[in-house]
Chains A and B, each alone.
Chain A
């Protein structure tokens, strides 16, 4: 491993036209042949940094040097020419194309310059697969691959272009602890083959396991950059967080009441495997927070669909307070006191083009406070929105501005405010703090606990195992459409145990 700098950031800034300074002067170096980790909380600037390296954004100021020479990457093509490849968090594979076609896309082997040489493309993909020991079927279509396979295909796609620097963006977010371990093995092999790796993550434990050098970002600046062996965990956390963030934890003094939600032997066969559930039985009591863990596609989506009125169960019953709610339409569920914080906040959770007021009032539109029959009281609607903004600390200039103009964290806070403030009997929360900054996440966690304290039954679906452990009273693990394990939350419970259950390796019922 040489000490020669492959990539150098010299006081790089990125200021967006609306004034947000994503990077406020970043300076650090990535040495050739090392595994370099970039750490920091959501909102610290990791994404922006990576986009600049990959040609998706250009810096507003500062210099980027690659291989000693000043580089200006205006497109992903430029980045590829500079030997930079990236494995995206949400993957960049075209679903209907095969793995081989995806890998070759953009520099396809041809016959006579016009016709696509499929055979050569397949051979190339096979060759890569063998060379880097990443097993994959080049003929499979991208849509048919599992998450872990998609990631392998992504990596191969990046490697196909003769990369010097491979960027991985939060690669373990969608993997179980065991799959993450396998990924790390692959990364070590790549390092041995001479590839420099840039590993972006906010999970310190993983960074420790794999990286040589770490750079910590905080609020758009580098707060520290050093070889990992020289930094203790506490030191890294301090560099990343700066100030103390109020921690939220469930307390034993929360009263747990009668059963609110009862799911009894519910099954649903569906075309999509992620929607398939078999023989699900669980109960959530008033004031209880039950967390659901599982890898992507283990059936959580199917359960959510049944509970939120998007699908009808084939077998079994769903009861809320003793009443049958399985198969009822969404409007009815809302009337019965079911709230839902969806995973995709801009797709389902809100309308980006409409104002904060129009988003906030959506659930309370029939209440006498906001409407008399059909007539809407505009003033009252705005007052309601202001109350929510105040209570949830939503940073905005006016309730009239569109939802899309808020940052992810603030938008999520407003959406949470809307769903929580109707005092539901049951709250179904999906990935409530995914991709938002630490302060906003803390606010939402606090309000969720408050909601539980006031008697709401909460069913929490999340891939963030730390969040799961912090908030839940009980944890349920799904695998392949079934519930395979239940744990009662205790200080001894580790993410490893949950991780094994997520893979179906351990079934325990506490």
Chain B
């Protein structure tokens, strides 16, 4: 058995890793933006779910996948604004408001689905569109990595370029500077004349937009339908990825890849006969282990100094 015969298998695993990592990375960037601004966005899960439905519905009624994507991002952004409004104007608790948003999204998406299609489980009656995969002409012929770099879903490429974009934005733009300042020391930032509330609104809206991209990918790239509760906790996994990434865009990217890789490997193992339920538990146990290791590492580092 030569090494070459294993390559398709390895390529398959790597592609699976990218496929799983994409929504986590996109939502993770959303978690990053809000967290660095000082508002932890626990409603990512609900935003992803709502956006997934929005993508399916808009693309079905307009016949365009692009409009579906934009619809998903808009819904996500709106929910981000709603979350900010609840906390800033009504003075609700930030974390519990995120929880409430998730509950509302879970129930609300089922209700909308029912009204639009008469079904509560799945949107198969809607002919929603699919976000395309992109084959890059010369790249795909490169041996070994060609089949990995080319032929991925468009959102995977978006995620890939979003990481340096977000990183640069945080470090080199005035918005990024103000966002970091507002997150670390809102009192001083306000005294400097920066409107902290507006920064936080912008952060939550952007966070929602990223969640929207992730949600659109779930219902229009990963598969091509919406199912109840299809986000399956990925919003929370994205938050875990952000923490593991140490609050940086590149770190979040690496963490998302690690989590994606773990799940992809687990699925491969499943084909050797492991029980599917235990495999399904892996994507939730790995982040906990990783978070614990990361926390221990950080503890050791601060103790040593």
Contacts and interface: CB of A to CB of B under 8 A. Distances in A.
A94 B185 contact: yes
B174 A110 contact: yes
Contacts, number: 65
B260 to A, nearest CB: 31
Interface of B: 172-178, 180-181, 184-185, 187-195, 302, 305
Given A96-B180, A97-B181, A105-B181, A76 B172 contact: no
A93 interface: yes
A68 interface: no
B192 A106 contact: yes
B188 A106 contact: no
Interface in A280-333: none
B177 A101 contact: yes
B233 to A, nearest CB: 32
B178 to A, nearest CB: 7
B173 A115 contact: yes
Interface in A83-97: 86, 88, 91-97
A375 interface: no
Contacts of B180: 94, 96-97
A467 interface: no
Interface string A138-181: 00000000000000000001000000000000000000000000
A116 B177 contact: yes
B174 A108 contact: yes
Contacts of B181: 94, 97, 101, 105
A76 B305 contact: no
A107 B177 CA distance: 11
B174 A114 contact: yes
22 contacts: A75-B193, A76-B192, A91-B188, A92-B185, A92-B187, A93-B185, A93-B188, A94-B180, A95-B185, A96-B180, A97-B177, A101-B177, A101-B181, A105-B194, A106-B193, A106-B194, A110-B174, A114-B173, A114-B174, A115-B172, A116-B174, A116-B176
B53 to A, nearest CB: 34
Interface of A: 75-77, 80, 86, 88, 91-97, 101-102, 105-108, 110, 114-116, 157, 271
Contacts of A157: 192
Contact of A80 (B175, B178, B189, B193): B193
Contacts of A91: 188
B173 A271 contact: no
Given A96-B180, A116-B173, A116-B177, A105 B192 contact: yes
Given A76-B190, A97-B177, 17 more contacts: A91-B188, A92-B191, A92-B192, A94-B181, A94-B185, A94-B188, A94-B189, A96-B184, A105-B181, A106-B178, A106-B192, A106-B193, A108-B174, A114-B175, A116-B172, A116-B173, A271-B302
Nearest to A117: B174
Q: Interface residues of B: mostly helix, strand, loop or mixed?
A: helix
A106 B193 CA distance: 6
A92 B194 CA distance: 13
A76 B175 CA distance: 19
Contacts of A95: 184-185
Contacts of B174: 108, 110, 114-116
Contacts of B173: 114-116
A96 B181 CA distance: 8
4 smallest CB-CB distances across A and B, nearest first, come from A92-B188, A106-B193, A106-B192, A105-B192
Nearest to B188: A92
Nearest to A271: B305
Contacts of B302: 271
Nearest to A101: B177
Contacts of A93: 185, 188
B36 to A, nearest CB: 11
Contacts of A106: 178, 192-194
A107 B191 contact: no
B191 A88 contact: yes
Contacts of A76: 190-193
Contacts of A108: 174, 177
A105 B305 contact: no
Contacts of A101: 177, 181
Contact of A77 (B175, B184, B188, B193): B193
A209 to B, nearest CB: 28
B301 to A, nearest CB: 11
Contacts of B189: 94, 105
Contacts of A110: 174
Contacts of A271: 302, 305
A95 B183 CA distance: 11
Contacts of B178: 105-106
A114 B168 CA distance: 12
Contacts of A116: 172-174, 176-177
Nearest to B190: A76
B161 to A, nearest CB: 18
A75 B197 CA distance: 13
